[in-house]
Amino acid sequence: MKTLIKLFIILIFLLFPQQLDSCTIFYIEKNGVVFAGNNEDWKDPSTMMFFYPPTSGKYGWVKFGWASGFPQGGMNDHGLFWDGTSNLHLDMPYSEAHKTKLNFPIMQKVIEECSSIEDAKTIFANFFIDDQYKAQYLVGDSTGNSMIVEGDNILDKEKDYQVLTNFYQSNPELGGYPCWRFDKTCELLETDTNLNPYFIGEVLASTHQDGNYPTQYSTIYDLKNQLIYLFYYHNYEEFIVIDLKKELGKGQSSYQIPELFSKLELIAPANRITLKPSSVDFKWEGKPENSYEVRYSTSWDFSEYQTAYVYNKQGNDEYVKMVAVPAFLILILLNIRKRHLLLFLLTFVLFTGSQCEKDEIQTSDTISFSKTINNLEPQTIYYWKIVAQPETNNNFRSETIVYQFKTG
* For the ranges 209-223, 336-350, 384-398, the one whose mean pLDDT is highest: 209-223
**Core vs surface per residue 139-154: b (16+ CB within 10 A) or e:** bbbbbbbbbbbbbbbb
Domain boundary among 260, 278, 312: 260
Q: Can you give the pLDDT at residue 3? A: 52
Task: Please provide the DSSP assignment of 118-182 as one string.
Answer: HHHHHHHHHEE-GGGGSEEEEEE-TTS-EEEEETTEEEE--SSEEEE-SS-TT-GGGSS-S-HHH
Output the CA torsion sign for 284, 287, 288, 291.
negative
- Identify the three-state secondary structure at position 285: strand
Last residue of a domain, one of 260, 288, 310: 260
pLDDT digits (tens, 9 = 90+) for 73-111: 999 999 999 999 999 999 999 999 999 999 999 999 999
- Whether the Cβ atoms of residue 56 and residue 112 lie closer than 8 Å to each other: no
Least confident of 103-107, 109-113, 301-305, 324-328: 324-328
> Which band of pLDDT confidence, cut at 50, 70 and 90, is reported for residue 340?
low
Task: Provide φ and ψ at 2, rounded to 5°.
Answer: -60, -40
The reply to whether 207 falls in a domain is: yes
What's 383's domain CATH number?
Answer: 2.60.40.10
**What is d(CA 22, CA 19) in angstroms, rounded to the nearest whole number?**
8
- Asked whether the predicted pLDDT for residue 393 surpasses 90, the reply is no
Q: What is the mean pLDDT of residues 294-323?
A: 73
Report yes or no: 188 and 203 within 8 Å, Cβ to Cβ.
yes
Contact 105, 129 (CB under 8 A): yes
Please, what is the average pLDDT of the chain?
86
Residues 233 and 273 in one domain: no
Q: How far apart are CA 27 and CA 219, in angstroms?
A: 12
Residues ≥6 apart with Cβ < 8 Å to 65: 47, 48, 50, 71, 72, 73
Please give the backbone phi and psi of residue 122, each rounded to the nearest 5 degrees, phi first.
Answer: -65, -40
Measured between alpha carbons, how far is 149 from 140 in angstroms, rounded to an integer? Answer: 11
Domain that includes residue 183, residue range: 16-260
pLDDT at 313: 54
Round to whole Å and give the CA distance between 370 and 28: 39
Domain boundary among 260, 293, 321: 260
Residue 10 maps to a domain: no
Please, which pLDDT band fits residue 68 given cuts at 50, 70 and 90? confident
Average pLDDT over residues 368-374: 95
Banded pLDDT at 375 (limits 50, 70, 90): very high
pLDDT-wise least confident of 259-263, 352-356, 393-397:
352-356
> Residue 276: which pLDDT band, with cuts at 50, 70 and 90?
confident
Which amino acid, one-letter code, is at 76?
A: N
Determine contact, residues 240/49, Cβ cutoff 8 Å.
Answer: no
Catalogue the E-assigned strands of 184-264. 215-222, 227-232, 238-243, 253-256
39 within 8 A of 204, measured Cβ to Cβ:
yes
Residue 133's contacts (CB-CB under 8 Å, 6 or more residues apart) are 89, 90, 91, 92, 151
Quick check: is 387 in a domain? yes
Task: Give the pLDDT confidence score for residue 288 in this predicted structure.
Answer: 94
Comparing 21-35, 41-55, 243-257, 352-366, which segment has the lowest mean pLDDT? Answer: 352-366
Determine the average pLDDT of the residues in 221-239: 98
8 A C-beta contact, residue 220 and residue 200: yes
- Do 213 and 276 sit in the same domain of this protein? no
**CATH number reported for the structural domain that contains residue 254 in this entry:** 3.60.60.10
CA distance linking residue 373 with residue 282, whole number of Å: 8
Per-residue pLDDT tens over the stretch 107-144: 999 999 999 999 999 999 999 999 999 999 999 999 99
Within a domain: 3: no
